[in-house]
Structure 1
Amino acid sequence: MTETPQDPMERLAKAYDKMLHEVHEAVESARENTLPGLKDYLEEAREKMIELGELSREEAEKVSTYVERDMKDAANYLLETGEQLSAWWRFDVQQVEERMLEMFTSVADQTKLELAKLAQRANTASLYHTGEVTGPGTLICAACGKEMHFKKTGHIPPCSGCKGTDFQRSGS
């Protein structure tokens, strides 16, 4: 078993990055094969982290839900606006680690393709909540509109403006 951070939220943030990496690797290797889709890749990554003892089943479920939420939200934004991923993040991509940018972009692009196939489905706004983990980007407090910028994966704290606990991704 690999060494894990002591802080539970830091541990989940690191697990988010690792799960994203696993999904990215699956997307890259499947480019020549049939593509089972994001849910299948996430399931494989989740099960692998459980088998390796890196996360409990409950933690792995949470983290995969966070990764899936962020990928779908980014893909929806890319699909609906045609903008670059930096516009979704709402800060300069130079501030994001190169490997994180590559993984996130690759998975978001694949997710965008999957979402385009499912465009007839109702599109509901993704809600983000205090205590959850999110990838890089900007969240806006649903109560007061204050922006919170994440330059790397991290847990979502209460709003510093009003202590609100519900957020939406900017551009959603």
Structure 2
Amino acid sequence: MTDSGNKAPLDRLTEAYEKMLEQVHDAYEVTRESALPGLKEYLSDAREKVVELGELTREEADKVAGYIERDIKDAAHYLHDTGEQISTWWRFDLHQVEERIAETFSKVADQTRLELGKLAKRAEQASTYHTGEITGPGTLVCTNCGKQMHFRKAGHIPPCPGCRRTEFKRSEE
């Protein structure tokens, strides 16, 4: 196992989120045909790579891949439905987000907007986020008390600082 084995589990998962998202973006840049099936394949390849390199267990890699897929679908759903920019989905200025993750995430979300828009149209409810999961940049709102949590980079979702509940949605304001 690499030196990442010495890091706290949440730090490893957060770093893996950013690394897998970057790998998905790099693979997507190579070929842009058939975006939705390709995106799933690229995410699967990125997941396999971190497992093969011993950076994450299969279970951890599956979790992180699920988080990335959820965030991309949520962003694409928002972009498709509103026509807004990714910075509006995040609810704060792009310069506040770490430049590398913002650029990578923006390209993946924007490039797949049309393809994922078809899937997003079918989904009537926005994605639900839970304490303990990893999320990308943006603002989450507690479904119980409405308290907002702002994520400027990928990170784990803690319990609500207002009521200690564990379920969140993306901000719609």
Q: Please show how residues 22-101 of structure 1 align to structure 2 within 5 Å.
A: 22-31=23-32, 34-35=34-35, 36-101=37-102
Q: In the TM superposition, what are the counterparts of 1:102-117 in structure 2 within 5 Å?
A: 102-117=103-118
Task: Measure, in 1, the Cα distance between the counterparts of 2:120 and 2:128.
Answer: 19
Deviation at 1:136, TM superposition (A): 0.5
TM-score by length of 2: 0.92
Unaligned runs of 5+ in 2: none
TM-score, scaled relative to structure 1: 0.93
Q: CA deviation at 1:116?
A: 2.8
> Aligned Cα RMSD in Å?
1.6
Corresponding residue pairs, total: 171
Letter in 1 for 2:106: T
Give per-residue Cα distances to partners, 1:73-122, cap 9 Å, x unaligned: 01110100011111111111101122211110111013312123445523
> For residue 3 of structure 1, what is the aligned residue in structure 2?
3
CA pair 29-11 structure 1, distance change in 2 beyond 3 A: same
The corresponding residue for 1:141 is 142
Runs of 4+ in 1 over 3 A off after TM superposition: 33-36, 117-120
* Structure with the larger helix share: 2
SS at match of 1:11: helix
Contact 1:27 1:106 in 2 (8 A): no
Give the CA deviation at 1:123.
Answer: 2.9
Distance 2:140 2:98 in 1: 19
Change (3 A) 1:129 1:118: closer
